[in-house]
Amino acid sequence: MTAQAFRFGVEERPPALQLLIYAAQWVAFATYPLMFSLVLLGLGWNLEGPVLGKFIAATLWIIGLGSLLQAFFGHALCMMSGPFVLTIFAMLESHRAGHDFASIFGALALSGVIVAILAASRLVGRIRPLFTPLVIGTLVMMIGLSSAPFGIRLMVAQGAGPGLAAFGLALLCGFIALRLRGFIATVPVIVVVTLGYLLFRLLPGWWLVQVPVLPWISPPRPALLGLRWPPLGLLILFTFVQLATAAFGMGATLGVSTAVRVRRQEGHLLRQAVINSLGEGTLAALLSAVPLVGYPGSLGFVSMTNVASRWAMAAGGALLVVLSSLGPLSALLAAIPRPVAGAVLLAIAGMNIGLGAEIWGAGTARFTKRHAFTVGFAIFCALGFTALPPESLRGMPNVLALILRNPVLSAMIFVIVLDGLLFRSSPTPTAAPDTSLDD
């Protein structure tokens, strides 16, 4: 995946009409992380009625604003922001442990400020050497692998017939991207989502959830679910979660920059971490929305569409900010048919799995038995622990249980520990891609 392969590179701005269409495609892509947070958190917390509608609108607004800020002032890449599974699980577990919404969002808001201060002190730069091509490739691949169960459940949620139609839509998405030429080859997601809406709109029960229609002008409401000073233990837990989010965001930035062959300064990582902690963390908590992180699943989307322009992604973020403030339109975005969302996820996550393997191969002169054992051990354990029922992890420290329930984060940590510490040997010569951050 070379820079010359893109119809528009990271710094290139498409013409106005194409830019608008690409922005709409990024909006369609954003419905996947929205649906993920809606299923896990919104429905897990039994939110309903206007509160659920406001929660959806606030999360869409933060996804749009965070992506827009990151595109111009943060990582400056074609990487949209999305909810982090570790944060969602921590929020769910904290609520199950008896903490109310107000305390949880208070802990998230304060921990975001703490981590932003740590990021500004250049803590981020000190952990950068841990992110080798082996770690980055594993991170990108695990995004695809860990999405598979959720994607398949979405595709077959309405039965065998709609499930088969969803598989057909996923194949169509790949056919458009791989076999067609010209502008149409860069918009497979918007084509498939449009066809899917038309197809499944004719079928009964196509809504993911019956989202209440809000007033036409419906901006996010501060402290929708409350906000208060948290207990110390809860603050410590979410400070760790935010630190893990910052480390994951840095790995995602390095992964995307590696794949699209761009070079970034350390300042990009610092600004990305600060924006993530304050804008996508603290501000999200103040609005009772889901905190975000740079979503490396964007790589599959970029590879599928052949458009790596950060201008297109930023335009999509701006469009999300506008649409999320319009009640009926934000409800429409949240109600994408489940099989259609699964079809798009299958196409994009499949690309991520392949891209992860490509980063492994391109980042090392020779993929050795040490590398094979390390990534195999990490992926086996990460997927295995997440397949266990929740009660199997009882008795473990909460922080460790949260890590093991997040396959992407746990696989990344396993590779760092095994390759960087336990099995560390003399440095292996690296070839392209270059992950240095110098201009």
Least confident of 108-117, 241-250, 332-341, 393-402: 332-341
Residue 431 lies in a domain: no
CA-nearest of 437, 58, 118, 101 to 280 is: 58
Q: Distance from CA of residue 46 to its chain's centroid?
A: 23
Residues 6+ apart with CB under 8 A from 333: 27, 30, 31, 34, 60, 323, 324
**Domain total of the chain:** 1
Residue 334 lies in a domain: yes
Residue 429 lies in a domain: no
What pLDDT does 207 receive?
44
The two structure tokens encoding residue 337: 């048919």
Distance set, CA 249 to CA 78, 258, 296 (Å): 14, 14, 9
Q: Give the end-to-end CA distance of the chain in Å, rounded to a whole number.
A: 21
Residue 435 lies in a domain: no
Residue 333 lies in a domain: yes
The two structure tokens encoding residue 419: 């390759």
CB atoms within 10 A of CB 149: 12
Q: Which residue has the higher pLDDT, 433 or 77?
A: 77
Is residue 25 classed exposed, middle or buried when 0-12, 13-18 and 19+ CB atoms within 10 A define those classes?
buried
The two structure tokens encoding residue 203: 């079928």
Query: What mean pLDDT is predicted for residues 164-174?
Result: 91
Dump the DSSP string for 184-244.
GGG-HHHHHHHHHHHHHTTSTT--SS-PPPPPSB----TTTT---PPPHHHHHHHHHHHHH
Residue 195 lies in a domain: yes
Query: What mean pLDDT is predicted for residues 261-269?
Result: 79
Query: What mean pLDDT is predicted for residues 155-175?
Result: 88
Per the CB < 8 A criterion, the answer to whether 349 and 144 are in contact is yes
The two structure tokens encoding residue 303: 């590879």
Residue 146 lies in a domain: yes
Least confident of 34-38, 248-252, 385-389: 34-38
What pLDDT does 349 receive?
79
Residue 184 per-residue DSSP state: G
Q: Is residue 429 scored above 50 in pLDDT?
A: no
pLDDT in tens, 136-152: 788 878 878 887 887 88
Q: What is the 3-state composition of the chain as percent helix, strand, coil, each rounded to the nearest 5?
A: 70, 0, 30
Residue 235: how many CA atoms within 13 Å on its side-chain side? 12
pLDDT in tens, 31-77: 767 766 665 676 568 777 677 778 888 888 999 999 999 999 999 99
Residue 269 lies in a domain: yes
The two structure tokens encoding residue 425: 């040997």
Q: What range does the domain containing 262 cover?
A: 3-422
pLDDT band at 415 (very low <50, low <70, confident <90, very high): very high
